[in-house]
Structure 1
Amino acid sequence: MDICVPRLSVVVPVFNEEDVLPLFAQRMRPVLDGLGVSYEVLTVDDGSRDATPAVLQRIRREWPQLRVVRLRRNSGHQNALTAGLHRARGQYVASIDVDLQDPPEVIAEMLELAESANLDVVHGVRADRSTDSAFKRGTAGLYYRLIRRVVGADVPHNAGDFRLLSRTAVDALTELPEHQPVYRLLVPWLGLPSGEVTYTRERRAAGSSKYPLGKMIRLALDSVTGFSAAPLRVATWLGCAGIALCVAIGAAALGAYLWGTVVPGWTSMFVALMFVGALQLLCLGLLGEYVARIFTTMQGRPRYVVAYDSAATGRPLVETGTGSTPWKL
């Protein structure tokens, strides 16, 4: 087989992970060496501000299959994953986070299942999340229930970005014009033959989480607004409920006037005005989320800018993320 086309590519988004990278290499390399297939490990440095670039270069000197792609600025986890998918060369492409909460040993099971059952997608499903905090488990459960309710039951429960894709699936994903991709929803949307491998989620090997509450909320918002118009319908129904309530309050006020029992109603009037104002702001906010997505798409800016690729032979490229030809810098 041509060495330029490995059997397996492993895409690893990285951001400020100087502490965990040596542990990741020590654990990942024996797993991949033991597969008996050609491979590359494509680490995407998402604009790290610590010693991550230096650590990656040091590991690469000892691990020739390690490939380093560095982005010029922090573009976010999903966009870093996009950069890896765009540049991965393998016939199969696995994606995994560097924190070792998803065990690298499961990649062997994924590859075996994909080859034996002729599958294009193998999801890694977290069967045991006891190592996560109660808050993390609770919010994750709420997220997946919401997504399955809004988007559809095809979304695997407790499946994140740990998965294996065939070249067919990767090519299909890279052609999608998504500007704010959420791959845990995009991949099931393709409808390709898929399977699941369950595993126990482990504790973070070192360092601290790079996915705080704010980013989780942003992911949930992107998931809902990117795959469903349900929030706009919610806004419509809330508006209808507000109108019905205002009609009821108006009828009650008219009845009190006709019966001559008018009393000072500052409190009820204040509450009604606040309620209507809150509904209006909520509806405007939901509408603004969709308008913002349209605005971002119309700008046509690339989702990420590649500063360096250890496997590149020429000048770096900037993928637009729209399925078009990359721009030369």
Structure 2
Amino acid sequence: MHLSVVVPCYNENAAIPLLVERLLAVVAPWQDSAEIILVDDGSSDGTWEAIEDAHTLAPIVRGLRLSANRGHQVALTAGLEAARGARIFMLDADLQDPPEILPDMMKIMDQNFDVVYGRREKRDGETLFKRLSAWGFYRFLNAMSDVSIPNDTGDFRLVSRRALDAVLAMPERSRFVRGMFAWAGFRQVAIEYPRAPRIAGETKYPLRAMLRFATDALTGFSTKPLKIATRLSFLSLAVTAFMAAYVFGSLLMFSTAPGWASVVLAISFFSGVQLLTLGILGEYVGRLYMEAKQRPLYFLSQETQPTTQNMDPEGEARVGPAPVRRLA
């Protein structure tokens, strides 16, 4: 298998037919040694039925259905673990990232690169808030992160088998795939492209999901928030010492100032620092708690093309590093 295309899908029923049509056209030069893997992330619409129809029309299309909605990054990981190609192409089902630049990516990878990632030179069809928040997110993440993560990029990329194997060897549960590829290293290069508007449906990253994603990215690749919490603690101690000196000085000079505004201000400041520090510590402790459980990332409930060579005698399908029991 030379090429695998991996597409996570969540409630993308309307987009699947056009997605498959464009992907089939793009992979035509490698159709005898290519596969298209569509991962249904527990959709509540007709996404799985659309994937089954696509598989019927084009057996090159494989479908994986997760037993529940696990999020974009886990669905992407499921597809990456199932991919058999020497090169793996990732994109989203909304077609904002054009699959037609795959041939250019393939040519660049022929120059001995392991990762060719797409960098958005402009973002059509997105709100001003979305553009500004995305711009700020990558710059803030790079300022805080211990790993340099390319600005204005997503999971739209072509990777080699050795780069993918390195990422799949990472056991963390809270996945930030683009950061994991950046951490893995190897030779990486960007290709710029204009991002198109979504062809159908609505975004799967509202503000709440974006904040959760940003938190996973930050806590997964940086300990700087913990260092900031420590520095804030020292700052609060310094302010406390200054205020204590002022109070005792006022007592000695018999010029105590009446009122409660300064007291309330001090209590609010120290309470805020303490709560912020506890919140940062809670995020890291929560990640440790989830990692310690060692639960599988996902379970498969259906698959359009089961691979019997990956089945053990007890009927367990092995997907990735851990056995996954089929639920249906």
TM-score scaled to structure 1, two decimals?
A: 0.93
Structure 1, 231-240 or 106-115: larger mean CA deviation: 106-115
Paired AA for residue 146 in structure 1: F
Unaligned runs of 5+ in 1: 1-5
2:202 and 2:117 map into 1 onto residues whose CA distance is: 25
SS class of match (2:88): strand
Structure 1, 250-259 or 8-17: larger mean CA deviation: 250-259
Q: Does residue 74 of structure 1 match 2:48?
A: no
Shift in Å at residue 34 of structure 1? 4.3
Change in Cα spacing, 1:316 to 1:66, as seen in structure 2 (3 Å) is farther
Q: Partner residue of 2:11? A: 16
Kept in 1: contact 2:7–2:38 (CA 8 A):
yes
Q: Partner residue of 1:244? A: 238
Q: Partner residue of 1:133? A: 127
1:224 and 1:28 map into 2 onto residues whose CA distance is: 33
Q: Partner residue of 2:266? A: 272
1:152 and 1:289 map into 2 onto residues whose CA distance is: 17
Unaligned runs of 5+ in 2: none
Shift in Å at residue 165 of structure 1? 0.9
> Deviations along 1:30-72, whole A, 9 cap, x unmatched?
1221456621110010000111111111122112211000000
1:271 and 1:102 map into 2 onto residues whose CA distance is: 50
Q: Decide which of 253, 262, 286 is 1:292's aligned counterpart.
A: 286
SS class of match (2:99): coil
Paired AA for residue 260 in structure 1: F
1:95 and 1:309 map into 2 onto residues whose CA distance is: 19
Q: Partner residue of 1:95? A: 90
Q: Partner residue of 2:22? A: 27
Q: Does residue 175 of structure 1 match 2:169?
A: yes
Kept in 2: contact 1:122–1:196 (CA 8 A):
yes
Kept in 2: contact 1:302–1:318 (CA 8 A):
no
Q: Does residue 190 of structure 1 match 2:161?
A: no
2:157 and 2:178 map into 1 onto residues whose CA distance is: 9
> How large is the Cα RMSD of the aligned pairs?
1.6
Moved segments of 4+, more than 4 Å: 34-37
TM-score scaled to structure 2, two decimals?
A: 0.93
1:159 and 1:54 map into 2 onto residues whose CA distance is: 31
Shift in Å at residue 83 of structure 1? 0.5
> Deviations along 1:213-243, whole A, 9 cap, x unmatched?
1111111111111111100001001111111
Q: Percent identity?
A: 39
